[in-house]
Amino acid sequence: MKNFCLVLFSIVLLSSCSRDSEMDRTIFIPDEDNAALPAYTEWGYNSFGAEYERDYFLVSHAIVPCKIVYNRDKQLEFSLQGRLRNSQAMTLTFIFSSVPSMQNYTDLVQLNDLKIDLSGDDCTVKILQDGSETVIEELSGEFHFKRTQLLSIDEKVNRVILSGTFDLQFLQNELPASISDGRFDLGITGKDFFAYK
């Protein structure tokens, strides 16, 4: 009987771990109008994409797509980690000052339908490429957390689904550049979120 209970416990534990790892994987569903980009969804597919000049900045199956830090300065750092189509790794980080206080990843639901003017003083945008980080000079743009929702499994909160859009015009090497038609659909857990106490 002891062996049977041990086997049953192992099966339950493995199926639970398997379910979480399935939910952490990236699902890329091509957009109907532009198949190079993922479709905008609100299902927690761990996907994002945007046009970056004549290239695309896209989610990668090999990189965790998003990390979020609520830092000591009470700012929210929202980092999208992926690749340009030429396989060059890139991180795009938005730093927002005017957001509610957060101590746990479940607090992210407070961002529901929040629109942020990226050219305002309460926002900074950074691009990390080739080990070099650049704070960009925003000319205009908007970041919209369209929908935030808690996802529960077996009546226990499993993750927060963050879905939204972004567009940004900025100066790069003193010339105008843009990141456009950006969209994200992410399942954020305690592994992807950190808050300084």
pLDDT band (50, 70, 90) for residue 19: low
Residue linked to tokens 């690749």:
83
50 in any annotated domain: yes
169 in any annotated domain: yes
Better-scored residue on pLDDT, 7 or 163? 163
Stretch (H or E) spanning 10? helix 2-24
Q: What pLDDT does residue 138 have?
A: 85
Mean pLDDT across 80-101: 94
Residue 130, pLDDT above cutoff 50:
yes
CA–CA distances in Å: residue 189 to residues 71, 72, 121, 124, 193: 17, 20, 29, 24, 7
Q: Are 193 and 68 in contact (CB under 8 A)?
A: yes
40 in any annotated domain: yes
Percent of the chain with pLDDT over 90: 80
pLDDT band (50, 70, 90) for residue 87: confident
Q: What pLDDT does residue 188 have?
A: 98
Mean pLDDT across 101-126: 96
Residue 184, pLDDT above cutoff 60:
yes
9 in any annotated domain: no
pLDDT in tens, 145-172: 999 999 999 999 999 999 999 999 999 8
23 in any annotated domain: no
149 in any annotated domain: yes
19 in any annotated domain: no
Q: Are β-strands 114-117 and 137-153 bridged in parallel, bridged antiparallel, or unpaired?
A: antiparallel
For the chain, the domain total comes to 1
Q: Whole-angstrom Cα distance, residue 148 to residue 187? A: 10
pLDDT band (50, 70, 90) for residue 4: very low
Q: What pLDDT does residue 20 have?
A: 61
70 in any annotated domain: yes
Better-scored residue on pLDDT, 54 or 12? 54
Backbone angles phi, psi at 107, to 5 degrees: -65, -15
Query: Which residue range is the domain that position 36 belongs to?
Result: 28-195
Q: Are 47 and 184 in contact (CB under 8 A)?
A: yes
pLDDT in tens, 30-80: 999 999 999 999 999 999 999 999 999 999 999 999 999 999 999 999 999
